[in-house]
Amino acid sequence: MTAETRVVAEQWRKTKSWGDHQEGAWLNKVFTRTRRAREDKISYIENKCIEMDSSCNNSKKIYDLVKELTSDRSSQTDVTNDSKGDVLTEGKAI
């Protein structure tokens, strides 16, 4: 993601958390209509393909690049449990 796209995305996240729906809707339009994220993603994939082409003798690197491009990303959440095994959600309890 380019720095400009990252700034717009961060502003959108902040306004979304503040509850400013008009500002959030405007930033969403800016983000989606200009297709910044899509163009950044396409350029990222093209750069990875160029990197694969340039390292044609290094199969390990090619394998890692293909795995990076095709794998599903999921965030891991860590939870804190008390002695009974119940999940702690309050800041004071943790």
The enclosing H or E element of 70 equals helix 59-70
Q: DSSP label at 86?
A: P
Contact 2/47 with Cβ under 8 angstroms?
no
pTM score: 0.51
State pLDDT tens for residues 21-71: 777 777 777 777 667 778 888 888 899 889 988 888 889 998 998 898 888
Which is more confidently placed, 37 or 75? 37
Question: Is the pLDDT reported for residue 14 higher than 80?
Answer: no
Rg of the chain's alpha carbons, rounded to an integer?
A: 20
Q: Where are the domains of the chain?
A: 3-69
Q: DSSP label at 73?
A: P
Instruction: Specify the pLDDT at position 46.
Output: 92
